[in-house]
């Protein structure tokens, strides 16, 4: 049967062959699970996603969110699916049971989410998005606040949000003007307007708990004067019951290119002077606290983009196998028409998509596995090691997935030809939905600045060095295998050049050529992403090669051979382009910086 | 004042400085025009486009086309604009006056069309699309047919179409099953269904004249048994009056990602057994005749894609100048917030867009200028020379513009950030509208096969050789200039490598590795496009450098300096990536071809 939404065989390959997730189950933290229970959970996710979420995905896109008389209504068809999603306890899977979660390893939670997000991103995002708000309260709230909010948010009985952006403060968060004034009872009165607020208002939950960035009257300008407040739609009394409706209202929603099922709200606070919130943590600590949620959200957005690409690839692959058109190029003029997967150019597109989709899956699951390792770490040093890699990878997962995930959806549309452009087929929606991922949670350009300006150089470049060592370990492994040694050498060359270029750029960032360096930050993020995908592909090929050497069953051999061949495709056709891009960055052209504004014309 | 839709200064640069269009005006064919009249025509086009077409562009997208009771209605707001467009005689500008045109040089007609198509592609396409049908009748029709149809089509009193695709015959036109049976009166009865028919049915014209590919009963299989018929919606009597309604009806329209104002119809012929058409040319000559229209349409689609990109770039440039966000990277912490055009990453995006938009403008106008030269040619050899280049460039203009035009629209959205994803701002529509260009009129993959399998090798590679000589002439010119010699050397290296790789690929196409070669056909089309843009950029830089040397006015200096700096940007940052891609193609990886279908998984 055709794989829908995602490729289960590949998920299992990553979880249990590439990453050895079973080793985690020997740890006490995960001792409640066996390989078999994990299989069952993923199976159940698949069943639920295909039965309840997928059937209302296109309808949610068509219907969209409506706004009338201050009320936001999600697509009506989402209500049942959302209710069942909560009843099935699919939210906050990695949290402990006592807080409403299931205590799953993070990488396994991603496997579940591939089905859920793949089947209907905008629908499940209402339920999933509150976790970040809950996590900030868990980490920085008072015992009372934790008791009142965390479990409700983790189980999505109440949903959360993320109120950062203002009309004049987007990428420059520090420019925000929403103001907070302390009241006698310890709460704060908040006044201001936030825009582009995903799920800021909707009709799926009893209460909506909004974390809001604002400046306490008199606080310093810029990011260091920002505090974070929790502003519930309905005030929450000490006994957990709802109090009065708070003065936070939706004044409009955006019409967007895609994610039509997702409410994108303008939120006005204090228009009647009655918006109350409570401070989370201490005053002026808002950015530090919010970054906990932002990092989670960035990984989430990268994952979302990967899933859109992965779903689109599966659809395109199935279509290419079924669509009969044209003859085999070497079949002769009386040969029958064949499925388009036989045509070299269609294969090129499919192999390219498969390379990236699987490479990103490995990268994302690998990074999730680092979270488990950081928690299980025996020493601070070990924990710091894993967290360093996570910090380094976060902007890459966000932005590189956003770029390549979108490119894959576009390529999938191309495989479909004219049908791909029509709403009757599913990839059209994936293209439109995916596009937002390069923009929200910090544009990809912002991520590139984070990568070059902070992450590569942090701790004297330690995490970047650790990352290079990890790649080298995979290269050394592959060099031992006759069938992979040539590919290993090509990756080694690219990784080495990447290291040199990183040195050049990060030194330039410190000096007078800082602008010139940052003009190449985004291309550098792209080459680093490509090298990582090359790394993941070589790693995959190594695992597959070993499985074949050990005598895999006939049916399994197909999968493993496909892994090796796809890795060969990526390293032989994509990495040479990456080398060219590295050369482009190495030259560090000054042209973009030297261009006078007037020279652009008017 | 901000340039809207397109950059007039740059259009003038291409027409009158890079291409010397004024030289054409000395020829008798164009003696009715002066530089001044051309300026006036382009000015008038701008005024009309901004006043009548642009204001109904977003509304046309929102309203879309409707289908009810067999009737197709275009957005109501299009009617007035369409009527005025016809009254202004903006259709078929290059045709002679006696046939309803204005006799303009083709490159100047493109300048006019930049405004029209840029302001509202789907609206003007109803009027513009009939030209191709008219041209086929002009070339292959009987004197009576010409008299009845050509002028009506050129003036868009009647509109045309292009009925090729069937559910089982898309890229493989030869698989079509629409059937024609000759009647006693010399007409043919036609039965069949066509899909994805742009403007197949609508309410903007008195009559719709559909050229239809069909197979006369008993004709050979494949493309060689295809004939072309003209099927009017209302039969046209010998005196030009309308006869009976023909049995060609629209049975449905597609819901698409974009171009919502454009009717994409399923057309059923002969469902009552009463569809009549007349043969154009001779039986079984359908493909040869239709290729006249297809080549025109391919150039038109490439132009459309370029325009979407160009419009999006202009919007993004204006936005980047107006949007205040963040501080200058070297401005210090108390410096004011600045327009985002100051940020290196935004400049990188703008320069990249400007490089391609202007490069494509030059390439397209240059190719149009070859049409004029072919017509004016004194010898057959000269004419063949120009037509060879046009044939070679056609798949590139279609597919490379479609690729980079779309990429530019996506990049423009990124410059806008969150606003770009919202329908309130205009780039969102440009992204959706542009995407179709990689698909219709032969997918970009089909164009790549045409380029590699036919165009590069035709006449023993003569046109490709002529093209390389043209590039070399520009390189030699630039080598003479101190400020451009370095850039010239980089382009020379890329062009040389491209020539070598073309040899490798075109030899492989002839042998047993044909599939392997075609797996690299599309990347080769991309590198050829990049080298051409590099060529156009170096040519531009040369013209600008000379203008500066001759002492351009202060205001003009800005423009010329921008030209040189943008060319530097392209050659220093994009061409190294192109070199990497050339290396990738040169290796001609077998992986995509060797991948067994089963290895893709299931």
DSSP assignment string, B103-124: ---HHHHHHHHHHHHHHHHHHH
Category of B81 on φ-ψ map: left (φ > 0), alpha (ψ -120 to 50) or beta: alpha
Q: How far is A292 from chain B (nearest CA, A)?
A: 22
Give the domain CATH number at A188: 2.40.110.20
Query: Average pLDDT, whole number, for chain B?
Result: 97
Catalytic residue among B138, B441, B492, B526: B441
Residue B325 in contact with partner chain A when CB distance is under 8 A? yes
Structural domain contains residue A598: no
Q: What is the mean pLDDT of residues A93-120?
A: 97
Q: What is the mean pLDDT of residues B332-347?
A: 95
- Quote the tokens at residue B12: 């003038």
A572 part of the active site: no
Residue B1 has pLDDT above 60, yes or no: no
Sequence-distant (≥ 6) Cβ neighbours of residue B233 within 8 angstroms: B201, B207, B208, B209, B210, B245, B246, B248
Catalytic residue among A95, A138, A368, A441: A441
CB B591 within 8 A of CB A565: yes
Among A262, A284, A306, the domain-final residue is A284
- Give A428-464 pLDDT, tens digit per residue: 999 999 999 999 999 999 999 999 999 999 999 999 9
Structural domain contains residue A24: yes
CA dihedral (B236, B238, B241, B242) in degrees, to 10, reads -30
Structural domain contains residue A241: yes
Query: Does A169 share its domain with A115?
Result: no
CA angle, residues B126, B177, B255, in degrees to nearest 5: 40
Structural domain contains residue B144: no
Of B256, B406, B600, Cβ closest to residue A317: B600
Compute φ and ψ for B338, nearest 5 degrees: -125, 160
Residue whose C-alpha is closest to residue B201's, from B257, B161, B153? B161
Query: Does A209 share its domain with A326?
Result: no
Task: Write out chain A residues lying below 8 Å of B330, CB-based.
Answer: 514-515
Among B262, B284, B306, the domain-final residue is B284
Task: Write out chain B residues lying below 8 Å of A572, CB-based.
Answer: 584, 587, 589, 591
Range of the domain at A270: 159-284
ipTM: 0.98
Task: Write out chain A residues lying below 8 Å of B559, CB-based.
Answer: 599, 601
Residue B182 in contact with partner chain A when CB distance is under 8 A? no
Structural domain contains residue A254: yes
- Residue B555 has a pLDDT of 86
- Quote the tokens at residue A569: 């495709």
Give the single-character DSSP code of B242: E
Of A566, A580, A591, Cβ closest to residue B568: A591
- Give A586-598 pLDDT, tens digit per residue: 999 999 999 999 9
Query: Does A434 share its domain with A507?
Result: no
Of A170, A329, A562, Cβ closest to residue B514: A329
HEC assignment per residue over B409-433: HHHHHHHHHHHHHECCCCHHHHHHH
- Give B356-379 pLDDT, tens digit per residue: 999 999 999 999 999 999 999 999
Q: What is the CA radius of gyration of chain B?
A: 25
- Residue A1 has a pLDDT of 44
Residue A227 has pLDDT above 80, yes or no: yes
- Residue A288 has a pLDDT of 96
Q: What is the mean pLDDT of residues A552-569?
A: 96
As to burial, measured by CB atoms within 10 angstroms (0-12 exposed, 13-18 middle, 19+ buried), residue A244 is exposed
Structural domain contains residue A544: yes
Query: Does A167 share its domain with A220?
Result: yes
Query: Does B338 share its domain with B424?
Result: yes
Q: What is the mean pLDDT of residues B493-502?
A: 98
Burial A177-202 (b: 16+ CB within 10 A, else e): ebbbeeeeeebbbbbbbbbbbbbbbb
- Quote the tokens at residue B178: 């629409």
B326–A558 C-beta distance less than 8 A: no
Give the domain CATH number at B293: 1.20.140.10
What is the Cα–Cα distance from B270 to B292, expressed in whole angstroms?
Answer: 26
CB A337 within 8 A of CB A325: yes
Q: What is the mean pLDDT of residues B157-166?
A: 97
Find, in chain A, the residue whose alpha carbon is nearest to that of B575.
Answer: A584
pTM reported for the whole predicted model: 0.98
Find, in chain B, the residue whose alpha carbon is nearest to that of A575.
Answer: B584
- Quote the tokens at residue B506: 């075109």
What is the Cα–Cα distance from A155 to B274, expressed in whole angstroms?
Answer: 64
- Residue A473 has a pLDDT of 98
Of A256, A258, A423, Cβ closest to residue B255: A423
Find, in chain B, the residue whose alpha carbon is nearest to that of A325.
Answer: B172
Of B449, B515, B577, Cβ closest to residue A580: B577
Residue A577 in contact with partner chain B when CB distance is under 8 A? yes
Residue B177 in contact with partner chain A when CB distance is under 8 A? no
Query: Does A55 share its domain with A175?
Result: no
Q: How far is B362 from chain A (nearest CA, A)?
A: 17
B-proximal residues of A, 498-527, CB under 8 Å? 514-516, 518-523
Q: How far is A449 from chain B (nearest CA, A)?
A: 9
What is the Cα–Cα distance from A411 to A399, expressed in whole angstroms?
Answer: 18
Q: What is the mean pLDDT of residues A152-165?
A: 97
Query: Does A435 share its domain with A460?
Result: no
Q: What is the mean pLDDT of residues B250-279?
A: 98
Structural domain contains residue A153: no
Query: Does A371 share its domain with A230?
Result: no
Query: Does A30 share its domain with A81?
Result: yes
Sequence-distant (≥ 6) Cβ neighbours of residue A492 within 8 angstroms: A472, A475
Residue whose C-alpha is closest to residue B202's, from B70, B98, B311, B83? B70
Compute φ and ψ for A424, nearest 5 degrees: -65, -25
Residue B354 in contact with partner chain A when CB distance is under 8 A? yes
Q: What is the mean pLDDT of residues B377-405?
A: 97
B562–A601 C-beta distance less than 8 A: yes
Residue A340 has pLDDT above 90, yes or no: yes
Task: Write out chain B residues lying below 8 Å of A3, CB-based.
Answer: 601-602
Residue whose C-alpha is closest to residue A53's, from A131, A124, A155, A158? A124
Residue A175 in contact with partner chain B when CB distance is under 8 A? yes
Query: Does A404 share its domain with A451?
Result: no
- Residue A49 has a pLDDT of 98
Structural domain contains residue A522: yes
Q: Is A551 helix (H, G, I), strand (E, B) or coil?
A: coil
Among A108, A128, A148, the domain-final residue is A128
B584–A573 C-beta distance less than 8 A: yes
Residue whose C-alpha is closest to residue A149's, from A205, A85, A90? A205
- Give A479-537 pLDDT, tens digit per residue: 999 999 999 999 999 999 999 999 999 999 999 999 999 999 999 999 999 999 999 99
Give, for A596, the enclosing helix (H) or strand (E).
Answer: none
Residue B224 in contact with partner chain A when CB distance is under 8 A? no
B417–A443 C-beta distance less than 8 A: yes
- Quote the tokens at residue B119: 């302001």
Residue B341 in contact with partner chain A when CB distance is under 8 A? yes
- Beta strand spans in A203-247 (E): 207-216, 226-232, 234-236, 242-245
Task: Write out chain A residues lying below 8 Å of B333, CB-based.
Answer: 222
Q: What is the domain count for chain B?
A: 4
- Quote the tokens at residue A476: 């050394």
Query: Does B251 share its domain with B349?
Result: no
CB A478 within 8 A of CB A541: yes
What is the Cα–Cα distance from B498 to B508, expressed in whole angstroms?
Answer: 15
Task: Report the Cα B557 to chain-centroid distance in Å.
Answer: 31
Residue A542 has pLDDT above 80, yes or no: yes
Token pair 């544009």: residue = A443
Q: How far is A343 from chain B (nearest CA, A)?
A: 8
What is the Cα–Cα distance from B384 to B380, expressed in whole angstroms?
Answer: 6
Query: Average pLDDT, whole number, for chain A?
Result: 97
Residue A564 has pLDDT above 60, yes or no: yes
Q: Is B383 helix (H, G, I), strand (E, B) or coil?
A: helix
Q: Is B253 helix (H, G, I), strand (E, B) or coil?
A: strand
Residue B581 in contact with partner chain A when CB distance is under 8 A? yes
Query: Does B501 share its domain with B581?
Result: yes
- Give B224-256 pLDDT, tens digit per residue: 999 999 999 999 999 999 999 999 999 999 999
As to burial, measured by CB atoms within 10 angstroms (0-12 exposed, 13-18 middle, 19+ buried), residue A20 is exposed
Residue A3 has pLDDT above 90, yes or no: no
A414–B445 C-beta distance less than 8 A: yes
Burial B28-45 (b: 16+ CB within 10 A, else e): eebeebeeeebeebbeeb
Of A170, A348, A350, Cβ closest to residue B325: A170
- Residue A431 has a pLDDT of 98
Q: Is B148 helix (H, G, I), strand (E, B) or coil?
A: helix
């Amino acid at each position: 049967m055709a794989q829908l939404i995602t490729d289960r065989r590949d998920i299992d390959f990553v979880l249990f062959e590439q990453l050895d997730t079973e080793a985690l189950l020997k740890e006490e933290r995960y001792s409640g699970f066996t390989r078999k229970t994990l299989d069952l959970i993923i199976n159940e996710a698949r069943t639920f996603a295909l039965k309840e979420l997928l059937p209302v995905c296109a309808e949610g896109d068509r219907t969209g969110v409506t706004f009338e008389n201050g009320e936001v209504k999600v697509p009506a068809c989402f209500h049942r699916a959302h209710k069942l999603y909560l009843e099935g306890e699919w939210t906050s899977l990695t949290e402990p049971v006592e807080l409403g979660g299931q205590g799953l390893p993070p990488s396994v939670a991603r496997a579940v989410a591939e089905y859920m997000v793949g089947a209907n991103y905008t629908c499940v995002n209402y339920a999933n998005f509150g976790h970040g708000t809950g996590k900030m309260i868990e980490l920085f709230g008072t015992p009372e606040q934790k008791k009142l909010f965390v479990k409700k948010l983790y189980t999505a009985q109440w949903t959360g949000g993320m109120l950062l952006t203002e009309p004049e403060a987007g990428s420059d968060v520090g420019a925000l003007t929403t103001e907070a004034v302390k009241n006698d009872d310890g709460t704060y009165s908040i006044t201001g307007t936030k825009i582009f607020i995903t799920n800021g208002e909707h009709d799926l939950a009893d209460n909506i708990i909004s974390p809001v960035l604002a400046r306490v009257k008199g606080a310093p300008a810029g990011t260091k004067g920002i505090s974070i407040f929790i502003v519930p739609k309905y005030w929450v009394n000490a006994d957990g019951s709802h109090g009065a409706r708070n003065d936070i209202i939706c004044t409009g929603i955006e019409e967007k290119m895609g994610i039509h099922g997702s409410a994108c709200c303008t939120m006005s606070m204090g228009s009647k002077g009655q918006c109350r919130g409570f401070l989370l943590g201490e005053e002026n600590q808002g950015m530090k606290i919010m970054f906990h949620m932002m990092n989670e959200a960035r990984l989430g957005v990268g994952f979302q983009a990967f899933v859109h690409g992965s779903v689109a690839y599966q659809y395109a692959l199935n279509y290419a196998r079924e669509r009969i058109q044209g003859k085999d190029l070497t079949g002769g003029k009386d040969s029958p028409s064949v499925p388009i997967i036989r045509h070299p150019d269609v294969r090129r597109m499919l192999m390219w998509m498969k390379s990236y989709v699987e490479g990103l899956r490995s990268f994302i699951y690998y990074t999730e596995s680092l979270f488990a390792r950081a928690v299980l770490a025996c020493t601070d040093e070990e924990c710091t090691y894993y967290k360093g890699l996570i910090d380094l990878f976060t902007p890459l997962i966000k932005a590189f997935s956003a770029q390549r995930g979108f490119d894959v959806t576009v390529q999938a549309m191309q495989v479909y030809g004219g049908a791909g452009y029509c709403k009757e087929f599913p990839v059209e929606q994936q293209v439109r939905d995916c596009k937002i991922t390069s923009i929200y949670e910090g544009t990809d350009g912002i991520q590139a600045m984070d990568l070059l300006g902070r992450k590569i150089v942090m701790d004297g470049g330690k995490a970047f060095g650790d990352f290079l060592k990890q790649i080298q370990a995979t290269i050394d492994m592959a060099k031992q295998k006759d069938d992979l040694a040539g590919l290993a050498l090509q990756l080694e060359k690219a990784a080495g050049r990447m290291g040199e270029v990183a040195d050049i750029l990060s030194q330039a960032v410190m000096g007078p050529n800082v602008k010139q360096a940052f003009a190449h930050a985004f291309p550098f993020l792209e080459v680093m992403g490509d090298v990582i995908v090359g790394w993941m592909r070589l790693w995959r090929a190594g695992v597959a090669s070993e499985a074949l050497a050990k005598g895999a069953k006939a049916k399994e051999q197909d999968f493993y051979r496909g892994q090796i061949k796809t890795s060969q495709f990526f390293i032989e056709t994509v990495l040479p382009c990456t080398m060219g891009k590295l050369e482009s960055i190495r030259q560090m052209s000054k042209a973009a910086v030297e261009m006078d504004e007037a020279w652009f014309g008017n």
